């Protein structure tokens, strides 16, 4: 059950040796938010949260070295907000679905938030 939540609903794809993680929120409409905290990822202790209809994702790196996070969102968005600052997004196909993403670094002790801008909500 935990594996299903982490990999399916939270869309977590970790790569511990490379200190990277990708996330893609897939919460059903009736779930307002979901969060997994103190998830071990190699030397990391992380928190992942999705909310706002899968339009806001948060990653916290509680412990371990800096981590590269690819925050993915369904749909094509030219820009995503990283800590409320616009950043150019990359669009691609992922298992037949169009997604947009940004890759950012999350330092030890840091919490980062990536959002789909309000004008781009689908």
Token pair, residue 36, equals 């997994």
CATH classification at residue 41:
2.60.40.1180
C-alpha–C-alpha distance, residues 64 and 30, integer Å: 34
Residue-number span of the structural domain to which 70 is assigned: 2-120
Residues constituting the chain: 122
Q: Please, are residues 10 and 34 in contact by the beta-carbon 8 Å criterion?
A: yes
C-alpha–C-alpha distance, residues 33 and 28, integer Å: 9
Portion of the chain with pLDDT greater than 90, in percent: 84
User: Over the stretch 32-59, which tens digit does the pLDDT of each residue have?
Assistant: 999 999 999 999 999 999 999 999 999 9
Portion of the chain with pLDDT greater than 70, in percent: 96
* SS3 call for 8: helix
pLDDT at 7: 82
Domain count, the chain: 1
């Amino acid at each position: 059950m935990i594996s299903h939540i982490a990999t399916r609903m939270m869309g977590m794809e970790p790569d511990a040796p490379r200190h990277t993680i990708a996330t893609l929120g897939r919460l059903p409409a009736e779930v307002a938010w979901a969060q997994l905290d103190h998830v071990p990822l190699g030397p990391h202790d992380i928190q992942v949260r999705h909310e706002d209809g899968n339009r806001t994702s948060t990653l916290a790196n509680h412990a371990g070295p800096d981590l590269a996070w690819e925050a993915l969102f369904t749909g094509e968005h030219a820009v995503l907000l990283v800590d409320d600052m616009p950043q150019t997004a990359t669009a691609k196909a992922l298992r037949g679905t169009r997604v947009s993403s940004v890759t950012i670094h999350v330092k030890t002790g840091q919490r980062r938030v990536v959002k789909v801008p309000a004008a781009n909500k689908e």
